[in-house]
């Protein structure tokens, strides 16, 4: 591939010098679905501008990089569905090679008595247990952590990958300081990337996933702000594992655990 294949796709957004509450109030009154917290979708902001052209003169602009596939394989566009899925604003998906479903749950902290079928009525909550579901997809076991992030940390990924295995985690947390894409192999925590600002990389091999970043048009050496960090992180996880998560994989009942005393 030529260097041009990795040229970042840069997009420019406008943001008004006013409170986000004003945009949310307008969006709800106009029929848009917006959350109480977190990022406002760029298309809603643009629609707000179109309806209030007088505010354009007060708007500032900022540039971001939109990840998109430059080589065959999983693309961030394949994961656009997760924005409107039951996964919500906080979740972690962990791909584990080398362990079956029950052992993945055990290494995530579940006791045997915690493991059972999880149905649509089971959800994590701050005062209750944390719900994690698991399913086998090809050679990998995929754990989906409802409103939690334990599976993204080194303390979880090391044991999940121990014994010659591999674990790749994607954490979305819209209210925390950062999202996370992390990877461990054979008990060693190798890479921890902030997919919003991929130049922020840590671990024993912080550059291990750089080629996957480039395959999505992201320059690992640039201090760029990524426009679609979670779809990009999930696409990278799929490129590593050859496992594509779809809405069908969220269907319940499915084996899982409601782990008491989980941390949030």
Locate the domains of the chain by residue range.
Answer: 3-64, 70-259
Give per-residue burial for 205-223: e unless 16+ CB within 10 Å, then b. eeebbbebbbbbbbbbeee
* More confident: 203 or 21: 203
Computed over every residue of the chain, the mean pLDDT equals: 90
With a CB cutoff of 8 Å and minimum separation 6, the contacts of 66 are 9, 10, 11, 76, 217, 226, 227, 228
Confidence of residue 264 (pLDDT cuts 50, 70, 90): very low
pLDDT given at position 229: 97
pLDDT digits (tens, 9 = 90+) for 178-193: 899 999 999 999 999 9
62-71, 220-229, 254-263: least confidently modelled range: 254-263
Question: Strand runs (DSSP E) across 16-149, as ranges?
Answer: 60-66, 90-97, 115-118, 130-137, 140-146
pTM: 0.84
pLDDT digits (tens, 9 = 90+) for 138-174: 999 999 999 999 999 999 999 999 999 999 999 999 8
pLDDT digits (tens, 9 = 90+) for 221-236: 999 999 999 999 999 9
| Whole-number percent of the chain with pLDDT over 70 | 91
């Amino acid at each position: 591939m030529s260097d041009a294949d990795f040229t970042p796709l840069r997009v420019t957004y406008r943001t008004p010098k006013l409170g986000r509450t004003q945009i949310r109030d307008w969006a709800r009154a106009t029929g848009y679905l917006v959350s109480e917290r977190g990022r406002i979708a760029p298309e809603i902001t643009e629609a707000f501008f179109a309806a209030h052209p007088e505010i354009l003169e007060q708007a500032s602009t900022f540039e971001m990089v939109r990840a998109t596939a430059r080589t065959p394989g999983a693309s961030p566009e394949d994961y656009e569905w997760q924005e409107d899925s039951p996964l919500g604003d906080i979740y972690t998906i962990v791909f584990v090679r080398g362990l079956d479903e029950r052992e993945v749950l055990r290494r995530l902290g579940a006791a045997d008595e915690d493991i059972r079928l999880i149905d649509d009525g089971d959800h994590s909550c701050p005062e209750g247990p944390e719900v994690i579901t698991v399913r086998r997809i090809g050679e990998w076991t995929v754990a989906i952590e409802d409103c939690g992030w334990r599976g993204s940390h080194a303390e979880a990924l090391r044991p999940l990958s121990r014994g010659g295995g591999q674990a790749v985690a994607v954490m979305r947390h819209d209210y925390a300081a950062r999202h996370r894409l992390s990877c461990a192999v054979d008990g060693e925590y190798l890479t921890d990337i902030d997919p919003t600002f991929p130049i922020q990389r840590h671990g024993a091999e912080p550059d291990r996933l750089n080629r996957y970043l480039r395959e999505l048009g992201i320059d690992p050496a640039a201090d760029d702000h990524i426009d679609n960090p979670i779809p990009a992180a999930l696409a990278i996880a799929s490129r590593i594992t050859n496992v594509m998560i779809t809405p069908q994989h969220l269907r319940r009942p499915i084996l899982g655990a409601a782990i008491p005393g989980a941390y949030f």
